[in-house]
Amino acid sequence: MLTLNQTHNPNSKSWLASANEANTDFPIQNLPFSVFRRKNSRELFRAGVAIGDQIIDLKQLGQTILFSKDITDILATCSGESLNAFMSMGRSSWSALRLALFNALKAGAAEESDMRDCLVAQKNAEYKVAAHIGDYTDFYTSIHHATNIGRLFRPENPLLPNYQWIPIAYHGRSSSIVISGENFRRPHGQIKHPDKEHPTIEPSKRIDYELEVGIFIGKGNALGDAIPLDNAEEHIFGLCLLNDWSARDIQAWEYQPLGPFLSKNFASVISPWIVTLEALAPYRTEWDRSSEDPQPIPYLESPLNREQGSIDMQLEVLIETDQHRQSELPPERLCASNFNHAYWTMAQMVTHHTVNGCNLRSGDFLGSGTMSGDTAGSEGALIEMTQGGKKPIQLTTGEQRTFLEDGDKIIMRGRCEKEGYPTIGFGELSSTLLPAK
């Protein structure tokens, strides 16, 4: 796994004042990647890196003579409309570009004037999904979420026997993964009401969010080659936020025997910024498995994974209803959770995904599954929080929610904090539920 280096120096400051503000998601120690263009322009999308309230235009930067040939060659892979080529270069190239940008952004850097010419204000930008996602696999890695859901359907035996032995996942639909800010209509689907003899086709009445972390694969593996656990993170480029929207009434009818289908593939929304694993190195924590639980079998077990397999990443979900907007009230928090609630680590997900020889490719995307904790208020989905719609939650506007209403906007945020280090964030993910067609 990655070790700390000069790019993590908590005392480093940037010549860009907004990168040094206490509340920024994007200090010089972060430097996440996206694909963007100026709003309302006909520009081609291109790669960018966030610093403070600005974006470094990597295509424009690559046309300067600020860097060595090696760095210029790396920048050339960032001139297209996706990050796939850059992701495929591997960790040494990712780290080399990060270091070059860090040094050019530091206070006192000789490159300041030329770098300023390559800045675009984030408020003036629009984004697209940063990589072409060939395949999408959604895991189920919070045991608290799995148990809460299981209790709704199997009160006597909520956790299925394979859960504590195998990272459970299903393959989702990559074509409906969209960027934050894109809204979607309430989906239609086949629903079987308990008091009806036959199912009907109608708009879903049980739309739910799912608080997840997205994982972008960087360098792939050849078909037939498994990725060992201690090498797995070399294949992970970085993380983002993921809202895997769900239609619970469609899901309840269709999921047996093969799992989610139309209840999940109508929209999944991700945040624009991908935070690299290198930026997250200071916030790594140990991963543990209770002695009362089955311990991982050998291919999913290692001292290194135990030592620093988890990430202390705080997560939250907020809601903004029409009533919030009409009353000029701020969004209110529904949930606060943490990525370290994952029962399986990122490395275990990648290793298990490839143990049968499955080939991952640059830009492939993994979802963590809903990140729920073990306390009230840490549930990462409404179906848990309301116990399947039986216990509505009360909002400060006087409204109640069991599931989402038309016009509800869901906002997700993620931040990593550690004493002695700057806070780094993931930006904001938001999307609004519109009425059915």
Secondary structure of residue 379 in the 3-state scheme:
coil
Cite the beta strand spans of 130-280 per DSSP E. Answer: 136-139, 169-171, 177-179, 184-185, 188-191, 200-203, 207-208, 211-217, 236-244, 246-247, 268-270, 275-276
Backbone angle region of 432, left / alpha / beta, with phi > 0 → left and psi within -120 to 50 → alpha? beta
* 46-51: strand order across its sheet: 119-121, 54-57, 46-51, 33-38, 125-128
Q: What are the backbone angles phi and psi of residue 35, rounded to the nearest 5°?
A: -125, 130
The residues with which 251 forms a beta bridge, in sequence order, are none
Residues 31 and 56 sit within 8 Å (Cβ to Cβ): no
d(CA 165, CA 388): 27
Short-list 313, 228, 316, 314, CA closest to 277: 313
Task: Look up 132 and say whether it is catalytic.
Answer: no
In the numeric block, which tokens belong to residue 100?
């070059």
DSSP element (H, E) containing 99:
helix 91-105
Short-list 199, 174, 175, 172, CA closest to 188: 199
User: Going by DSSP bridges, is the β-strand pair 421-434/184-185 parallel, antiparallel, or unpaired?
Assistant: parallel
User: Which of 8, 144, 145, 352 is flagged as catalytic?
Assistant: 145
User: CB neighbours (10 Å) of residue 369?
Assistant: 28
Vertex 245: Cα angle to 239 and 248 (nearest 5): 140
Catalytic (active-site) positions = 145
